[in-house]
Structure 1
Amino acid sequence: MAKVLVVDDDAHIRELVRLYLEDEGFEIIEKSNGEEALQYAENHIVDLVILDIMMPKMDGWVLCENLRAFGEMPILMITAKGEATDRIKGFKLGTDDYLVKPFDPVELVLRVKALLKRYRISTASEIQLGTITLDRKRYQVIYSNGQTMTLPMKEFEVLYKLGSNPGQLFTRSHLIEHIWGIDYEGDDRTVDVHIKRLRERFTDCESDFRIVTIRGLGYRLEVRPD
């Protein structure tokens, strides 16, 4: 299922959100301040972030701005402030949706599901590529004989993105934006390097899938039929 990062210095709010979202099958990661949340997001795949504005060490505004550097993940703000100016500021910084405390937990669940649907994020934590399974919780590739291989995070994200949409063309700029973030300043040839490494790692798996180059456009992953 999708992984949701919940950031709030109020333990009762975190527990409420966790209980309702876990009941819907989501994996919940809790952090009590913006610094801890940012550190986690820098090193782990996160599908959606729920955050408060007023927090110690790093507030929700700064956290939201930093998270946007990682790409297009949905961000939902939960705050005690309901002024229009705060909502406008949040949207300008990249917030996707907004809830004011006290909130209805059922409405929260519906908004989370709507955001994931809008971003077309799969709620599954595993996908199948022929006889190979990609485990998004552990960045692992699981082979049919039970052996596993752990990939570097960016390589895994590229493979998971392509594998989640077999047959769909992804341009280099699309992959850069969604995996490295819109503020990435490196060369888009970074994508080519990661694709090359993935092909080298999976040379023995061509009967399961292959990554195809569409010259001048980008890449797509093709799953071989059984």
Structure 2
Amino acid sequence: MQQQPYEPLRAQATGGPPRILVVDDDPTVAEVVAGYLDRAGYAVDRAADGPAALSRAAAHWPDLVVLDLMLPGMDGLEVCRRMRGHGPVPVIMLTARGDEDDRILGLEVGADDYVTKPFSPRELVLRVESVLRRSGPVTGQPRLGAAGLTVDPAARRATKNGAELSLTLREFDLLSFFLRHPGQAFSREDLMREVWGWDFGDLSTVTVHVRRLRGKVEDDPARPHLIQTVWGVGYRFDPGAAGGEEDRHA
């Protein structure tokens, strides 16, 4: 059955706890995750399938979604796409699959992080805290700009040649980091630590986000010249570059 269009009701800032929507068809997993998040001080909503998740999000727009990849009727990838079509929201994807392609698919549709089942609920809470900590406006930081790109950290707004860019949380943070450090080369480990706030993790997360960001800021993403690959090192943002070689590995 086709899901009816909806318009999410975004809650006004009331100073209450962040609202987390947990979407998982396994009642045991959902109960454990919701319990840990509740004890950590979050307001938690639950949904067992895709349509219910969209309905809950429409009634109370969440500050973050913990979203299972495998759901009955509508998988997590489609739920993520539909939610992102109505407004920005951080997403942590849960997956029981070990196939790297499934994890990358989640990142490609805009998930900010993922956790593979079985997982530690405490680790998930830490990841939620990390994502939320980086999702709000940043005060005290000046606007950044180079090569037609501008970033306003306080408004969490980015533009290219005056046109607003639709960036996920991590894409925004990644672009901000590059703009703050023009001309410097960073490894994927450096970017994982500085942008994601983790000293460990799957480095393909960085690769996918760089590729997605290139698709939004480069004139020709197949031949990137702003976000360049530094072979054997990682990536460098070069606002003064006239062109670049095609990156076949990212």
Residue 120 of structure 2: aligned partner:
104
Counterpart residue identity of residue 118, structure 1: R
Which of residues 31, 36, 40 is equivalent to 1:20? Answer: 36
Which of residues 66, 69, 85 is equivalent to 2:85? Answer: 69
Taking only the aligned residue pairs, the percentage that are identical comes to: 41
1:31 aligns to 2:54 (yes or no)? no
Higher helix fraction: Structure 1 or Structure 2?
A: 1
The CA deviation at 1:58 is 1.1
* Secondary structure of 1:70 counterpart: coil
1:83 aligns to 2:99 (yes or no)? yes
Unaligned runs of 5+ in 1: 123-167, 179-226
2-structure distance, mates of 1:170, 1:120: 8
TM-score normalised by structure 2 residue count: 0.49
Counterpart residue identity of residue 111, structure 1: R
1:92 aligns to 2:71 (yes or no)? no
| Alpha-carbon displacement from aligned partner over 1:5-31 (angstroms, at most 9, x marks no partner) | 000100000110011111110000000
Alpha-carbon contact 1:4-1:29 (below 8 Å) kept? yes
CA distance 1:83–1:40, shift in 2 (3 Å):
same
TM-score normalised by structure 1 residue count: 0.54
* Secondary structure of 2:61 counterpart: coil
CA distance 1:36–1:103, shift in 2 (3 Å):
same
Counterpart residue identity of residue 14, structure 1: A
Counterpart residue identity of residue 24, structure 1: A
Alpha-carbon contact 1:47-1:121 (below 8 Å) kept? no
Q: Where does 1:105-184 land on structure 2 (aligned, <5 Å)? A: 105-120=121-136
Counterpart residue identity of residue 18, structure 1: A
Counting matched residue pairs gives: 133
| Alpha-carbon displacement from aligned partner over 1:134-170 (angstroms, at most 9, x marks no partner) | xxxxxxxxxxxxxxxxxxxxxxxxxxxxxxxxxx668
* Secondary structure of 2:85 counterpart: helix
Alpha-carbon contact 1:18-1:28 (below 8 Å) kept? yes
Unaligned runs of 5+ in 2: 1-16, 139-153, 168-250
Larger RCO: Structure 1 or Structure 2 (Cα < 8 Å, ≥ 6 residues apart)? 1
1:48 aligns to 2:48 (yes or no)? no
Counterpart residue identity of residue 89, structure 2: M
The CA deviation at 1:42 is 2.3
